[in-house]
Amino acid sequence: MHDHTTTIETLLPAQRRFFATGQTRDLQFRLTQLGKLQAAIIANQDQIVAAVQADLGRAPFEAYFEIAVLKDIQLAIKQLRNWVKPRKMPTAIEVFPATAWIEPQPLGIALIIGAWNYPFDLIISPLVGAIAAGNCTILKPSEHAPHTAAVIVDLIRSIFDPSYVAVIIGDAEVSQRLLQEKFDHIFFTGSTKVGRMVMAAAAQHLTPVTLELGGKSPCIVDRSARLDIAAKRIAWGKFINAGQTCLAPDYLLVDQRIKSEFMDCLIRAIQELYGEEPAKNPDFGRIVNQQQFDRLTGLLTSGKVVLGGQSNATERYIAPTVLDEVGWDDLVMTEEVFGPILPVLTYDQLDESIQKIVDRPKPLAIYIFAQDQAVQSQILATTSSGGACINDTVMQWAIPNLPFGGVGDSGIGSYHGKASFDVFSHYRGVLKRSMLLDLQWRYAPYTTAGLRQIKKIVTGQ
């Protein structure tokens, strides 16, 4: 690797100088850059898909999830003219005559640190917001998806000057080195543990952060659900990308009364998706590296394996696995699974399962499978999570107009659609007064009449 220290030390001042020219603020400039990014992704889609396959063993169908970022770009190009417009706000009688407005301004230099599980999308999707909002950006892709990182480097360097958008590759040490610098915003996707470190580093410079973290997203299966459809949608959301999805349903909470019927549906659904021998099925992915593989195989000791459980270290393969008879204190329930292992817990009363969720760190998503609207409403009203989805899994991510992000331990801030523009913008409030009229009521020396006036303004009486 070439020396990143010099790169970082020369890059940041170069980006500050370029930002100071004001070019990135120009609407047409932003639209042109978004267009260039869009064209480059379309032109390089085969390389992107091949890289994701090499890093994660994903089928081309699932590798195309990365390229769904094109939808974000299309939306930004279409809406940007509206997003950048100042919004007029009403003023008060005390400042008459005056006008007031809110104007979005770029923050400056943004740092975006990506994750390895969706290694292209999780870097490029925030970048769309940073460009749309008029910032300069430094990208740090994950070193655990090296093929994709290499494609990102080629793609970004072919379309952007590094004083505008730059890529730095390297390991955790490089990230730490970057985090010592002062940025105007840091956007990080990854684990809660590393998220804490990013926030601590950002605090040294009072840099605002967006943290896209994970957590154990619960999935409740109520007896009013259509069990066959629920099973298929849960199996899909859990086992895409071999379970390495921050939004995947982490564990199931199933009503005791429909448990055995549902388990039959679930096992059938998984077998329909991946066949009798998932190890030979090209549609089922692989674990990203040895460290994750070892961590996951350690979780297979919890509960009782009712499907799967096989693994192969040389291929980093872990079969789609369902664990039954799992307790809340089992190893598999102490951390986010982030792999193809699905623990199943049961409940007698809905209230008790809700209490278990509420007692734990706030998850990125809550999934509710129920036809009964009272059940849906009760769970939504009594829990907190980054997002929620009723009668499906993961698909809330695909709606660009729904802000995507966590709360509490699952993250800070959200993006997608206009939320991506907002996260990289500062909304400045501006008041503009006329000098034609200058009433004396607010100036010292204060009089009894003035006191009456301020009292009336403040209390409304």
Strand 425-433's sheet: what is its strand order? 87-89, 98-106, 425-433
The maximal CA–CA distance of the chain, rounded, in angstroms, is: 88
Residue of 246, 265, 336, 389 marked catalytic: 246
**What does the DSSP 8-state code read for residue 437?**
-
How long a stretch of residues is the chain? 461
Instruction: Give the separation between CA 174 and CA 113, rounded to whole angstroms.
Output: 11
201 token code pair: 């580093």
DSSP string, 18-56: HHHTTGGG-HHHHHHHHHHHHHHHHHTHHHHHHHHHHHH
Burial class of residue 298 (count of CB atoms within 10 Å of its CB; 0-12, 13-18, 19+):
exposed
> CA-to-CA distance for 218 and 205, rounded, in angstroms?
36
Beta bridge partners of 410: none
List the catalytic residue out of 136, 212, 336, 389: 212
Is 246 a catalytic site residue? yes
What backbone phi and psi angles, to 5 degrees, belong to 437? -130, 135
Q: How far apart are CA 266 and CA 255, in angstroms?
A: 14
Q: Look at residue 100 and give its three-state secondary structure.
A: strand
Locate 41 and state its tokens.
Answer: 């992704």
Beta bridge partners of 210: 187
Catalytic residue status for 212: yes
Identify whether the C-beta of residue 363 lies closer than 8 Å to the C-beta of residue 216: yes
Cα-flanking dihedrals φ and ψ of residue 207, to 5°? -85, 130
Could you tell me the end-to-end alpha-carbon distance of the chain, in angstroms, rounded to an integer?
A: 71
Q: Are 221 and 264 in contact (CB under 8 A)?
A: no
Q: Sheet with 251-255: list strands edge to edge.
A: 304-307, 321-324, 341-347, 251-255, 218-221, 365-369, 387-390
CA distance 190 to 114: 7
Give the list of residues 6+ apart from residue 353 with CB closer than 8 angstroms, or none.
220, 253, 345, 347
Distance separating alpha carbons of residues 143 and 116, to the nearest angstrom: 7
Supply the residues annotated as catalytic. 212, 246
